[in-house]
């Protein structure tokens, strides 16, 4: 399903190949990549690979600032795996990343509100999950503003590939 949304300051749309330079500005930032849970891009080739992977995701959209037409982030939904190992058809995981130059201006909250409203109105999902590292207070604020509620937290093992020893916090939003 193709989804495009417009807010006061943003346009949410599928990624295209010509987004590469803006996308590189986002994914080359080590701090942003760590917070969003992916390996940062060391060069334009790495960013191109990540962009192609993102474009294959059905529900991940470019966050475009309308006044400049620049891609400043991405937001979308990822498959949620059930306890039986299947992809849930009613639950998903929310993921997002924002160019650090745009942090603290409410862009991700604005994008999240539009996207969540659209999928809940269309009854595409009944439950949305999200997680963040406990040290990422900005992501926690975004999720709280979007109406998510605390569910649980866990510590990654010291030998984990992703964020060894870090505490991950789980939030959930249920369609009313």
CA distances from 109 to 24, 83, 119, 154 (A): 22, 30, 15, 25
* Residue 84, domain CATH: 3.40.630.30
| Structural domain harbouring 41 | 5-125
Report the 10 Å Cβ neighbour count for 133.
19
Number of domains in the chain: 1
The verdict on residue 80 lying in a domain is yes
Mean per-residue pLDDT for 152-164?
Answer: 88
Identify the residue whose tokens are 């964020």. Answer: 163
Whether the pLDDT of residue 1 is over 80: the answer is no
DSSP state of 106: S
CA distances from 175 to 46, 86, 103, 116, 123 (A): 37, 21, 27, 9, 8
What the block records as the tokens of 9 is 């300051």
The verdict on residue 137 lying in a domain is no
Cβ neighbors of 141 (< 8 A, separation 6 or more) are none
Instruction: Read off the pLDDT of residues 19-59 as tens digits, 9 standing for 90 and up.
Output: 999 999 999 999 888 878 788 999 999 999 999 999 998 79
Among 53-57, 69-73, 108-112, 171-175, which is the least confidently predicted range? 53-57
The verdict on residue 105 lying in a domain is yes
């Amino acid at each position: 399903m193709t989804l495009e949304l417009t807010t006061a300051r943003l346009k949410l749309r599928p990624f295209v190949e010509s987004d590469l330079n803006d996308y590189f500005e986002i994914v080359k930032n080590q701090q942003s990549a760590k917070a969003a849970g992916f390996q940062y891009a060391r060069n334009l080739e790495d960013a191109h690979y990540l962009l192609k992977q993102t474009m294959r995701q059905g529900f991940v959209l470019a966050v475009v600032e309308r006044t400049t037409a620049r891609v400043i982030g991405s937001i979308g939904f990822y498959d949620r795996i059930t306890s039986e190992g299947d992809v849930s058809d009613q639950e998903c995981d929310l993921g997002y990343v924002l160019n650090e130059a745009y942090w603290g201006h409410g862009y991700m909250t604005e994008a999240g509100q539009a996207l969540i409203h659209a999928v809940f109105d269309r009854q595409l999902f009944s439950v949305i999950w999200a997680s963040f590292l406990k040290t990422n207070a900005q992501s926690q604020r975004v999720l709280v503003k979007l109406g998510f509620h605390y569910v649980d937290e866990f510590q990654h093992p010291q030998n984990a590939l992703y964020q060894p020893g870090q505490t991950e916090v789980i939030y959930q939003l249920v369609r009313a």
